[in-house]
């Protein structure tokens, strides 16, 4: 074997080992963070909207179910009875037309099974706010709400309506100032395609199944769909090679970007407050969940690194990542393989030398030499 070829093979093997080690390390760190993920402090909106005594009850009740955020209880209380402020039948006495009672709107049979003595007076009173909220926490927890992957299902069991679940999740996002996402359990692109919380265009589905999507995009979407319904319009196929109006190659072209047009059944627009809250959580996350570039309808998010807003991003969220950097060189995932972008070489995971079909040109590209937008 020629010295140059031997050196290239050794370099490829070293890169493969380092990539695997980095991926394992990132997963372990993310799993630890997910296990201890904070529920977030009350946002300014929460403080202004939730009566102080009810806010305290939501927080105390959530503590009885490890993993359940107080903001979910608060969102249910808001949707059901405006935190007990509603004067409709069934809130403070009697029942509504469906037979539901109290500030958290329990049916009598469900209350009999899950009702709680939240204020410690020895009585389980369905109309008592503390008892009702603690009962709701008990009921949600029994249906798996402490597990982020089961949260939507637990809320659906509370009220059998996908629209209801979306409203609660959006309200919880507005109430909490949690500033980051947490890394979901390791997943593959093929498994992600089957997630019921992910709506994909035909092209985006084909990209995921075809192995052309960067793993960071896969992990990002997996983290989002753990708690939200996400609708994706484009990843790679269907997007132009270049950033609009420029000669810069878009991250979409390398499968390193994704466009999201709806969250929890709500289209992305400047007036979608729940989507805005999720966008802030995305931008507050740690790499690699935090994108290197993030386009949205909201100029106020430009305070975050990599965030931008322009007329081309008023109806979707754009999340993109630069090529990975090792030894000062740019790498990316193309057609399911690790690609050395700068010198036209494609390195298989076993370190074998292959000619890159998509990057035949010979040019040295240093990592992070320019900011790429979609």
Mean pLDDT for the stretch of residues 304-322: 96
- Helices (DSSP H) in the chain: which residue ranges? 3-35, 44-49, 52-62, 70-81, 108-114, 129-142, 151-158, 162-175, 189-193, 202-209, 215-225, 273-283
Q: Which of 268, 277, 186 is nearest to 223 (CA)?
A: 186
Burial of 253-271, coded b for 16+ CB within 10 Å and e otherwise, reads bbbbbbbbbbbbbbebeee
Residue with tokens 């793993």: 215
Reply yes or no on whether the pLDDT at 35 is more than 70: no
Q: What is the pTM of this model?
A: 0.61
Residue 227, pLDDT score: 84
Mean pLDDT for the stretch of residues 201-221: 96
User: Taking a C-beta distance cutoff of 8 angstroms, is the pair 172, 178 a contact?
Assistant: no
- What is the rounded distance in angstroms from the CA atom of residue 367 to the CA atom of residue 319? 19
Mean pLDDT for the stretch of residues 105-112: 98
Reply yes or no on whether the pLDDT at 300 is more than 90: yes
pLDDT, greater one: 43 or 206: 206
Residue 100, pLDDT score: 98
Mean pLDDT for the stretch of residues 287-307: 94
Reply yes or no on whether the pLDDT at 185 is more than 70: yes
Q: How many CB atoms lie within 10 A of CB 325?
A: 12
Burial class (CB in 10 A: 0-12, 13-18, 19+), 70: buried
Residue 137, pLDDT score: 98
* CATH code matching the domain that covers 181-322, chosen among 1.10.1660, 3.30.1380, 1.10.1060, 2.60.40: 3.30.1380
Reply yes or no on whether the pLDDT at 359 is more than 50: no
pLDDT, greater one: 190 or 357: 190
Between the CA atoms of 367, 182, 317 and 304, what dihedral angle is there, to the nearest 10 degrees?
-60
Tokens of 109: 């049979």
pLDDT band at 287 (very low <50, low <70, confident <90, very high): confident
Q: Which of 291, 274, 273 is nearest to 282 (CA)?
A: 291
Tokens of 41: 């402090």
Angle between helices 70-81 and 52-62 in degrees, nearest 10: 130
pLDDT digits (tens, 9 = 90+) for 235-286: 999 999 999 989 999 999 999 999 999 999 999 999 998 899 899 889 988 8
Tokens of 345: 């070489």
Burial class (CB in 10 A: 0-12, 13-18, 19+), 192: buried
pLDDT band at 170 (very low <50, low <70, confident <90, very high): confident
- What is the rounded distance in angstroms from the CA atom of residue 49 to the CA atom of residue 226? 27
* CATH code matching the domain that covers 44-175, chosen among 3.30.30, 1.25.40, 1.10.530, 3.40.50: 1.10.530
Reply yes or no on whether the pLDDT at 18 is more than 70: no
Supply the mean pLDDT for the chain. 81
Mean pLDDT for the stretch of residues 290-306: 94
Residue 339, pLDDT score: 52
Angle between helices 129-142 and 52-62 in degrees, nearest 10: 30
pLDDT, greater one: 198 or 149: 198
Residue 195, pLDDT score: 94
Reply yes or no on whether the pLDDT at 340 is more than 70: no
Reply yes or no on whether the pLDDT at 25 is more than 90: no
216: cis peptide before it, omega within 30°? no
Between the CA atoms of 74, 79, 83 and 85, what dihedral angle is there, to the nearest 10 degrees?
170
Where are the chain's structural domains?
Answer: 44-175, 181-322
pLDDT band at 173 (very low <50, low <70, confident <90, very high): confident
Beta bridge partners of 230: 198, 263
- What is the rounded distance in angstroms from the CA atom of residue 188 to the CA atom of residue 301? 30
User: Taking a C-beta distance cutoff of 8 angstroms, is the pair 192, 208 a contact?
Assistant: yes
pLDDT digits (tens, 9 = 90+) for 121-134: 999 999 999 999 99
């Amino acid at each position: 074997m020629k010295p140059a070829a031997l050196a290239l093979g050794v370099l490829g093997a070293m890169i493969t080992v380092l990539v695997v080690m980095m991926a394992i390390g990132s997963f372990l760190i993310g799993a630890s963070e997910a296990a201890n993920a904070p529920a977030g402090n009350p946002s300014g909106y929460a403080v202004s909207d939730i009566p102080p005594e009810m806010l305290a009850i939501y927080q105390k009740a959530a503590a009885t179910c490890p993993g359940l955020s107080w903001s979910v209880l608060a969102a249910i209380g808001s949707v059901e009875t405006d935190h007990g402020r509603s004067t409709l039948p069934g809130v403070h006495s009697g029942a509504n037309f469906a037979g539901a009672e109290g500030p958290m709107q329990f049916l009598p049979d469900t209350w009999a099974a899950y009702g709680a003595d939240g204020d410690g007076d020895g009585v389980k009173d369905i109309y008592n706010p503390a008892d009702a909220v603690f009962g709701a926490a008990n009921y949600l927890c029994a249906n798996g709400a402490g597990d982020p992957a089961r949260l939507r299902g637990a809320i659906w069991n509370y009220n059998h309506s996908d629209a209801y679940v979306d409203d609660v999740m959006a309200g919880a996002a507005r109430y909490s100032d949690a500033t980051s996402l947490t890394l979901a359990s390791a997943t593959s692109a093929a498994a992600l395609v089957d997630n019921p919380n992910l709506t994909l265009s035909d092209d985006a589905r084909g990209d995921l199944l075809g192995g052309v999507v960067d793993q960071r995009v896969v992990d990002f979407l997996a983290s989002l769909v753990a708690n939200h319904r996400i609708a994706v319009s484009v990843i790679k196929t269907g997007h132009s090679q270049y950033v609009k109006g420029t000669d810069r190659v878009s991250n979409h072209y390398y499968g390193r970007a994704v466009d999201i047009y709806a969250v929890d059944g709500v289209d992305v627009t400047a007036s979608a407050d729940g989507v805005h809250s999720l966008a802030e959580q995305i931008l507050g996350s740690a790499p690699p969940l935090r994108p290197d570039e993030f386009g949205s309808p909201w100029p106020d998010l430009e305070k975050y690194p990599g965030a931008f807003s322009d007329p081309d991003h008023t109806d979707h969220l754009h999340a993109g990542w630069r090529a990975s950097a090792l030894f000062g060189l740019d790498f990316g995932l193309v057609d399911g393989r690790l690609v050395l972008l700068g010198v036209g070489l494609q390195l298989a995971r076993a370190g074998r030398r292959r000619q890159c079909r998509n990057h035949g040109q010979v040019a040295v590209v240093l990592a992070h030499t320019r900011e790429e937008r979609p």
